[in-house]
Amino acid sequence: MPMNRRDFLKNAAASAALLSLPLISRAASPVRGRVVVVGGGYAGATAAKYLRMWSRGGVEVVVVEPRTQFISCPLSNLVLGGSKEMGDLTFGYDLLKSHHGIQWVNDEVVAIDAEAKQVRLKNGELSYDRLIVAPGIDFMYEQLPSLASLEAQTVVPHAWKAGAQTLNLRRQLEVMPNGGVFVMSIPKAPYRCPPGPYERACQVAFYLKNNKPKSKVIVLDANPEITSKKGLFTKVFAETYAGMIDYRPNSAVMDVDVASKTVKTEFESLQADVLNVIPPQRAGKLAQTAGMSNVDKRWCEVDFLTYESKVLPNVHIIGDSVSAALPKSAHMATSQARVCANAVIALLAQQLPDPAPVFANTCYSFVSDKMAMHVANVYRYDSTKKIMVSAEGGGVSEKPSELEGNYAQAWAKNIWSDVLT
C-alpha cells in the first residue's frame, strides 16, 4: 500500500523514539564491562556508538577494523551513473572515536576463542566480556571458481563492496564503445541489498542513455522475478529505459570465461563488452572460520532479542551475516545494532533484554541521477515464533520522483551522521 511522506516520517520517528530509550537507562549507576566490536561498517560502528552512549560511558568499547575509512555501499551505484564520486561516499572515523571515547584497533580478527573470551588478531589478542561481530558478506566463489582470483575480478568486477571495484567498473563503462553490451548478473536471494542490482541496471542504463545511446544492458537474474519493488522496476525498465534494458529472469550464471567476458547460463552464452557478475553470497569470513554460519553453511542463527549467536556464547552477530527473513540493508544493520547494544548493556548489568523490540527499515533506489523510489517496513518481535515479523506501517512509492530523490539524499546524510558522529 502506498505511504505518504507524513505517515512515513511518523512511523520512522516512532521507531527512532523506541530505540532511543534503552531499558537499561533506568539503572542507578553506569554499567561496567568490556565489549569488543569486530567490524566498522554500518552495523559495527552503530553498535559501538550506542554502547558508549547508552551505558553513559561505563562500557569500554574496542572496535577492530582493518580499514582506515568508511565507504558507503548505499548510493555507490550512483558512481556508475555518474552523479556521485567515491569521495562523496568516503568518511573518516575520527568524529565517532573522539565523540564517544571508542578505542580503535586497525587490525583484523582471525580467530575467536569463545571459552577464553578472547579474539586473536593478526597482531596480538584482545579479551572481552561480550563480543559483537559484524562481518558483512563474503562471496561463494566455489560456485564460480573462474572469478576467485584478484586478476579475474579486475576483468570481471562484482563492485558489490563499494570501493576500488566500483571505480574499476565505472572506468570500464567509460571506455565501452557506443553500441556495446553491458551484461550483469544477479545471484539467487538472499544477498546484500535486495533492490541494489536493479538500481544498478538503471544507473548503468542512465549513463549509457546519456552518453552511449546505442548500447544495451542485459540483466541475468537467477531469481524467478525482480525481488524488490517489482512493479516499480518493471515499469522503469519498460518505459524509462525501453529498448535498452533487457531483463531475463531464471538466468543463473553457471560459468564465466574471464578472458572473453563470456557468461554461460542454463540456456545461453553471452559475450559482453563490460561484464559485471555479482556472485552468490554468505556470511563474512570470520563468521565462517568461527563456525557461526550454521544455517545452510551460509548465514548465522541468532536470538533476535539479543543477537547472541546460537553457536557461540557471549558472541553477538549483527548485520548482513544474520539468517533472517529481513532485508540485508544498511538501515537494517543499524536497527539490529541498536537492539543488540541495548541487550548487551542489559546483560552486562545482569538484567533481561527488551522483550519486544520494534524497528523500521527503509530502502531508496535511484532510477536516474535525481529520481528515486522507496520501500519501507516496520518489524516487531513475535514471541511465539521468536523472530522479527512485519508489523503495521510501511509502504512503497507510487512512482519514482525527484522529491523522493531529495528524501533519499537526506536519508543518506542522516544515516551517515548517526553512524559516524
27-48 per-position pLDDT tens digit: 456 789 999 999 999 999 999 9
- Tell me: the pLDDT tens digits for 355-382? 999 999 999 999 999 999 999 999 999 9
What are the C-alpha distances in Å from 258 to residues 34, 121, 149, 180, 274? 47, 35, 11, 17, 11
- Report d(CA 43, CA 135) in Å as an integer: 9
Confidence of residue 148 (pLDDT cuts 50, 70, 90): very high
- Report d(CA 212, CA 179) in Å as an integer: 7
Is residue 359 within 8 Å of residue 156, measured between CB atoms? Answer: no
Q: Which helix (H) or strand (E) holds 16?
A: helix 5-19
Locate the DSSP E strands across 33-167.
Answer: 33-38, 59-64, 70-71, 90-91, 103-105, 109-113, 118-121, 124-127, 130-133, 137-139
Is residue 125 within 8 Å of residue 107, measured between CB atoms? Answer: no
What are the C-alpha distances in Å from 240 to residues 30, 196, 243, 399? 56, 18, 9, 12
Which residue type is seen at 216?
K
For residue 252, the model assigns a pLDDT of 98
- Tell me: the pLDDT tens digits for 170-218? 999 999 999 999 999 999 999 999 999 999 999 999 999 999 999 999 9
Which residue type is seen at 135?
P
- Report d(CA 234, CA 226) in Å as an integer: 8
Is residue 238 within 8 Å of residue 202, measured between CB atoms? Answer: no
What is the rounded average pLDDT for all residues in the chain?
Answer: 94
- Report d(CA 208, CA 213) in Å as an integer: 6
List residues bridging with 372 in a β-sheet: 366, 401
pLDDT cut 70: percent of the chain above it: 93
Strands 90-91 and 181-186: unpaired
**Which residue in 72, 64, 31, 66 sits closest to 50, CA to CA?**
31
- Report d(CA 197, CA 253) in Å as an integer: 15
- Report d(CA 272, CA 374) in Å as an integer: 31
- Which of residues 208 and 16 earns the better pLDDT score? 208
Average pLDDT over residues 336-346: 98
Average pLDDT over residues 105-110: 98
- Report d(CA 213, CA 177) in Å as an integer: 10
What are the C-alpha distances in Å from 87 to residues 182, 263, 371? 25, 32, 21
Strands 137-139 and 281-283: antiparallel
The distance of Cα 38 from the centroid of its chain, to the nearest Å, equals: 16
Q: What is the DSSP letter of 299?
A: B
- Tell me: the pLDDT tens digits for 64-104? 999 999 999 999 999 999 999 999 999 999 999 999 999 99
pTM above the 0.85 mark? yes
Q: Which domains does the chain have, with CATH numbers?
A: 5-66+106-138+281-420 (3.50.50.60), 141-277 (3.50.50.60)
Can you say whether the dihedral through the CA atoms of 203, 209, 212, 217 is positive or negative?
positive
Is residue 132 within 8 Å of residue 47, measured between CB atoms? Answer: yes
- Tell me: the pLDDT tens digits for 282-339? 999 999 999 999 999 999 999 999 999 999 999 999 999 999 999 999 999 999 999 9
Residue 235 CB partners (closer than 8 Å, separation 6+): 399
Is residue 56 within 8 Å of residue 30, measured between CB atoms? Answer: yes
Grid coordinates given for 162:
563499494
Residue 259 burial (CB < 10 Å; 0-12/13-18/19+)?
A: exposed
For residue 20, the model assigns a pLDDT of 45
Query: Is residue 51 predicted with pLDDT exceeding 60?
Result: yes
